Amino acid sequence: MASIAFEPSQLGPITLRNRVIKAATFEGATPKGQVTDALVDYHVKVAAGGVGMSTVAYLAVSPEGRTARGCIVLGDDTVEGLSRLTDAIHAEGAKAAAQVGHAGPVANPKSNRLPSLAPSRHVGMTGSVAREVTEADIARITDDYRRGAELAVQAGFDAIEVHLGHNYLLSAFLSPKLNKRKDAWGGSLENRARFARQVVAAVRAGAGDGIAVTAKLNMADGVPGGLWLDESIPVAQMLEADGHLDALELTGGSSLSNPMYLFRGEAPLEEFGATLPRPLKAGFKLLGSRFMPSYPFEEAFFLPYARQFREALTLPLILLGGINRLETIERAVELGFPFVAMARALLREPDLVNKMQKGSSTESLCIHCNKCMPTIYSGTRCVLVDPAPPARAAHP
């Protein structure tokens, strides 16, 4: 009997050949901010390996919205390369999604050579200062999202994922810890959610009706005083009521202060510290465990939170978080999650979905050592498969 994991499934106006989505993880393959052969190869491997859709990360909508200068900015100069990428994904039978966003306080202003932005003035761990977003910034960035969606459609993407997580700009606006504004964009939850809702509406307007639009939303920031389920569930309900989304992917954690909340398992402190510039190494050695605490790994670790969203919403939900086994995918579908998103398991085995469908494997070989995390600076990869950085790579 065929597994429900491999049934063709509807995501808004598009049909995926199965229920597995390659989650957006920065590929470390665009040192000059342009599509490279390495980026194409990265996504072709998982597309040929059987996923229903592969998500390209991370496409910034504004130059200052890059995490660093190695990120692609959606613009007229990047559409041709992105079209080559989507054509290659489509040739392997998979759909292509574009994760679009603005890094906000997560952006590296020194690398970007542009000031970073935040809902309220924010001083980062390295001492960099993100300035407070103005009304003019909000209007400009909202339009950047709309225009970015139009360009993503021109580039042949089938779906657009709006990044509302990990304390990137829109997530930072949602956070009561990071958003201290006293105007219409801060204070109450409705005010803090206003920017995200406005952006999602703009993306839908730019994308049109033939493209699936999803959002990646933090359920919990994983930091004291941050967003928690008592507010993130109502935000999800607002987004559902607005009617612009075809699905919601549920995530958590803060790239500013607790990235391990998203990954779980042992923190790769030594490997991550080795990627830092010399002036930061000593400080990271002393304080790195506070920034990257280790958490016990459990498969589908976000499921207990996600089930509370499932109870509160009718919108299709995408389950994320350490999914390794076919049995877990099937259980997620039975619990009302029509899709699952996988990252580390597919980095370890890009052909995992094909193996599962053929019956030659039921579980990923990924051990969640998290040593892949620091490889984003030298070409994202599983170090157990490919321990040496590829010659193409460069620090963003």
Q: Which residue, 50, 43, 48, 42, is CA-closest to 20?
A: 50
Asked whether 198 and 230 are in contact (CB, 8 A), the reply is no
Q: 């989304």: which residue's tokens? A: 245
Asked whether 326 and 300 are in contact (CB, 8 A), the reply is no
Rounded to 5°, the CA angle 320-322-326 comes to 90
Q: Whole-angstrom Cα distance, residue 318 to residue 343? A: 13
Q: Whole-angstrom Cα distance, residue 12 to residue 14? A: 6
Q: Whole-angstrom Cα distance, residue 127 to residue 25? A: 26
Give 136's contacts (C-beta < 8 A, 6+ positions apart).
Answer: none
- Residue 260, φ and ψ in degrees, nearest 5: -70, -15
Query: Which helix (H) or strand (E) covers residue 215, if one does?
Result: strand 212-220
Tokens standing for residue 142? 């909202």
**Which residues belong to the active site?**
168
Q: What is the 3-state secondary structure (H, E, C) of 226-282?
A: CCCHHHHHHHHHHHHHHCCCCEEEEEECECCCECHHHHCECCCHHHHHHCCCHHHHH
